Amino acid sequence: MQIGIDSFAATVSDPATGLALSASQRLNNLIEEIVVADQSGVDAFGVGEHHRKEYLDSAPTMILAAAASRTQHIRLSSAVTVLSASDPVRVFQEFATLDLISKGRAEIVAGRGSFVESYPLFGLKLEDYDSLFTEKLELLLQLRDETFVHWSGKHRAALTGQGVYPRPLQAQLPIWLGVGGTPESFARAGLLGLPLMVAIIGGDFRRFRPLIDLYREAGQHAGHRVDTLKVGIHAFGFVGDTAQQAGDDYYPGYARMLNTIGRERGWSPPNRAQFDAMTAPGGPYLIGDSQSVADKVLYVNEVLGGISRLSFQMTNVALPHAKMLRAVELLGTKVAPLVREGLLVR
């Protein structure tokens, strides 16, 4: 199992002063997080895509390319690429370029995103939400497999055999399908034989097992090999020297971030008791000391029938940079080895 980190490059306020870091400092801090993750043994790092004031990741491949030049081993991924609002040709070109810069470490997690600002920003209609994604995913996969593409669709000008360059270093650029909780999305990933990245931000991990089983069944029915039907999980996670410290450090920024989103979506404000219940054994958050987090990773692997990657959503809008770097280091040097040891024992 690979252990990864996902970041949404949210703007961060210094908890001591309440002042927001400059955009330049925040992005350079994020690149340092990726460098420390690489040095600590974390397997993958994903950067999201948003087109909102609170985030700085509207051009995630730029961030990943900057990190590529300072890292050696870590896989560099989107988390997710909002494919519905993007031109698949440009997406492929950008990630192929990233793959060349990183010497074969680029990956795409393609999805529709949980925010909708990109649709009016790029002149798209929200009512085309699903047809945009379906059509553009088809084209992206064809671009991956063919240099000279013949293709036509509803939402983009046709391709009539033009060559699409550059080509990536990897023989086949990895493309995961990012999904939430709809059965249709799980089945689609299986039918296409694409690795699956499941965003789990609440609820019991076990409730996703039927959907993951559906993905595997659809994939096998379509003739795809079992070993190609990989499952990744994206979930809130954070590691501290003690479980109490991890919760105390992570909660303030977590609460602020969820309050901001919750005001738009009608969610009830979070409270510490609910948060602590989420971090308890069986809860959906992987937050605690190294051993408790590793134990929960192994639990998630077991209840979901085996997973290939677990990506920790560690974004926090009110956490000192030094504490984030420490959490990244602990994830790579403590949690990942404990997980690998536990998998061998089981």
Q: Where are the alpha helices (DSSP H) in 153-208?
A: 183-192
Q: What is the pLDDT of residue 114?
A: 78
Q: Characterize the bridge pairing of strands 159-163 and 148-151.
A: antiparallel
SS3 category, 243: helix
Burial class (CB in 10 A: 0-12, 13-18, 19+), 153: middle
SS3 category, 128: helix
Cα torsion 333, 336, 341, 344: sign: negative
Read off the tokens for 23. 């955009």
Amino acid identity of residue 311, one-letter, is S
Domains of the chain: 2-345 (3.20.20.30)
Give the separation between CA 163 and CA 148, rounded to whole angstroms: 4
Give residue-wise pLDDT tens across range 314-343.
999 999 999 999 999 999 999 999 999 999
Cα torsion 120, 122, 125, 131: sign: negative
Give residue-wise pLDDT tens across range 254-312.
998 888 777 777 778 889 999 999 999 989 999 999 999 999 999 999 999 999 999 99
Q: What is the pLDDT of residue 22?
A: 95
Give residue-wise pLDDT tens across range 68-93.
999 999 999 999 999 999 999 999 99
Give residue-wise pLDDT tens across range 10-62.
999 887 787 899 999 999 999 999 999 999 999 999 999 999 999 999 999 99
Give residue-wise pLDDT tens across range 188-218.
999 999 999 999 988 899 999 999 999 999 9
Give the separation between CA 301 and CA 205, rounded to whole angstroms: 10
